[in-house]
Structure 1
C-alpha cells in the first residue's frame, strides 16, 4: 500500500475537474482504488531494471493509415447535447485572454 493518501475530498476535486458526478459510495470506492493504484506504482518503482534494455513498444505497429472517407456531419443539436455549457448554437467556453 502506498504511503500517499487519496482522500474522498481529493476524489471530489478530481471529479469536479473532470466534469463528473460522483456519489458518496463511489467517493469511498474510488479513494480506495486510487490508493491501490499508487501502491502498484510504488511496487513498480522499486523493481530493479539494471541491465534491462528499454522497449520502444511491446505492440507491433503496421503503419497503415485508414482511407479518408467523408462521413455525415452531426446536427447542431446532437453536437451540443453533452456540452457542459452552450447557448443553443455554440459551445460556451471560459475566456482565456
Structure 2
C-alpha cells in the first residue's frame, strides 16, 4: 500500500494541470511512493560527520594564470581600420547630437 494516496496524486495532477486517468492515479501513486522512499533513505544515510559537497571529485581550475602581456599600439590597432579620424576608428553616426 503506497504512503501517498490516490487523492494526493489527483491533487498534484490538478495543481500541475495534468489530465490523468483512474489507472494512472494508481500507477503514479506507486511510483511517487518509491521516489519518496528513496529520498528518505538518502536522508538516513547522511551523517553529521560527513561535510556537504557540491561535487563528487575535487575540481581544479584549468585556466592559465592571468598575466599582463603587451598589447597593440594605437597605430597597429588602427592599421586595418577602413576609416580613421583623430587617432580613433571612424564610424557612421547613428544618433543625432542635441545642441
TM-score (norm 1): 0.50
Higher strand share: 2
Structure 1 or 2, whichever has the larger Rg, is 2
TM-score (norm 2): 0.49
